[in-house]
Amino acid sequence: MIHVESLTKIFRTHVKQPGLLNSMKSLFHREYTEFIAADSVTFSIEEGALVGMLGANGAGKTTTLKMLSGLLHPSSGNATVMGYVPWERHNDFRRNFSLVLGQRNQLWWDLPAGDSFLLNKEMYRIADHDYNKRLNEMAERLDIADKLHVQVRKLSLGERMKCELIGALLHYPKVVFLDEPTIGLDIVAQHSLREFIAEFNREQGTTIILTSHYMDDIEALCKRVILMDEGKIQFDGALSGLVDRFSGEKILTIVIDHEVGPEDIPNSEYVSEIGKDHITFKVPKSEIAKITSHFLAHFSVRDITISEMPVEEVIREIFSGKNIDASS
């Protein structure tokens, strides 16, 4: 459904030093700086997949989605979405995809959302029966049926985002790009949108790329993730594989019969928590056997648990550069 090969986008920006003299100089001799927003991005996505795209601010996620939606022309590389080259903006392509930007509005600010939906109905030539059925189902699922005739500017952020999502999906697109759809929303609104997106993907077989800063979004919706950093793809695979590849540590929890002090604990530099009946380590895999052996030999141990690092913690370390060069 989506195929991307060596997609690159370079932004060229005019640089001018402050002052009148420098302004005059820039009229005759301009200096430019280049920023590579997307660097040889390559991946393929099968029809009906729901893929998460992770990355810090400036990693290249939104730039990639804008190229795949045809809003930006790449500096080099190739891409097809549903068999079409996105930036050629073929009518059949535009009728069958949607782009939802969490910080941008597509609805008319001073009109009720219902009026914008009617405009979408005419633009996408949705039959009356299909339009009414789809709108009613979506509004009921998102618990927003009583807000469709309220001016958009009077809606809460969560209500507005739900309406944005309905407007983007009314024509049942084959491909949807969701860029930070839950940004700024409270926990209840986030959960509601996640459930709706998962159901829509499952029932309609829509191909979805989701970018988010919230790991709850990715963990709840996406089996596959694409991790970007500085415009490049650093990882593309199963979410569980992200932990295996980039985390050299595990969480080791030892439950004991009595409380111990820091002075009784070996490898105390790895301790992340000390409780009345347990000690938790964030420890390199190579140290697990040594620590567990020590506790088994010197303490009355009731339980030992070894678990993977939380995905959110792994992502945080990757973004900080700690594990970005880890090998698979």
Q: Where are the alpha helices (DSSP H) in the chain?
A: 20-28, 61-68, 91-95, 113-123, 128-141, 157-169, 187-204, 215-221, 239-246, 288-298, 311-319
State whether 23 and 112 are in the same domain: yes
Most confident of 24-33, 63-72, 208-217: 63-72
| Percent over 70 (pLDDT), the chain | 94
Report if residue 187 sits inside a domain: yes
239 SS3 class: helix
State whether 150 and 96 are in the same domain: yes
State the total domains in the chain. 2
pLDDT digits (tens, 9 = 90+) for 78-112: 999 999 999 999 999 999 999 988 667 788 888 99
pLDDT digits (tens, 9 = 90+) for 207-237: 999 987 777 788 888 989 998 888 999 889 9
Report if residue 281 sits inside a domain: yes
Domain boundary among 243, 260, 280: 243
CATH at residue 89: 3.40.50.300
Q: Which residues contact 264 (CB under 8 A, 6 or more apart)?
A: none
State whether 201 and 259 are in the same domain: no
Report if residue 102 sits inside a domain: yes
State whether 220 and 290 are in the same domain: no
Burial class, 30, CB count within 10 angstroms (exposed 0-12 / middle 13-18 / buried 19+): exposed
Q: What pLDDT, on the 0 to 100 scale, is given for residue 113?
A: 92
pLDDT digits (tens, 9 = 90+) for 125-178: 999 999 999 999 999 999 899 999 999 999 988 888 899 999 999 999 999 999
Q: What pLDDT, on the 0 to 100 scale, is given for residue 205?
A: 93
State whether 81 and 219 are in the same domain: yes
The two structure tokens encoding residue 20: 């009148």
State whether 180 and 296 are in the same domain: no
pLDDT at 321 over 80: no
State whether 153 and 279 are in the same domain: no
Report if residue 6 sits inside a domain: yes
State whether 78 and 202 are in the same domain: yes
State whether 38 and 70 are in the same domain: yes
Report if residue 92 sits inside a domain: yes
**Are the C-beta atoms of 87 and 73 separated by less than 8 Å?**
yes
Domain boundary among 223, 243, 263: 243
Report if residue 148 sits inside a domain: yes
Burial 117-138 (b: 16+ CB within 10 A, else e): bbebbeeeebeeeebeebbeeb
C-alpha to C-alpha distance for 124 and 86, rounded to whole angstroms = 18
Fill in the DSSP letter of residue 299: S
Domain boundary among 193, 221, 243: 243
Q: Please give the mean pLDDT across all residues of the chain.
A: 86
CATH at residue 276: 3.30.70
| Percent over 90 (pLDDT), the chain | 44
State whether 238 and 258 are in the same domain: no
pLDDT at 327 over 60: no
Question: What range does the domain containing 268 cover?
Answer: 249-308
State whether 226 and 257 are in the same domain: no
pLDDT at 12 over 80: yes
State whether 26 and 157 are in the same domain: yes
Report if residue 273 sits inside a domain: yes
Report if residue 327 sits inside a domain: no
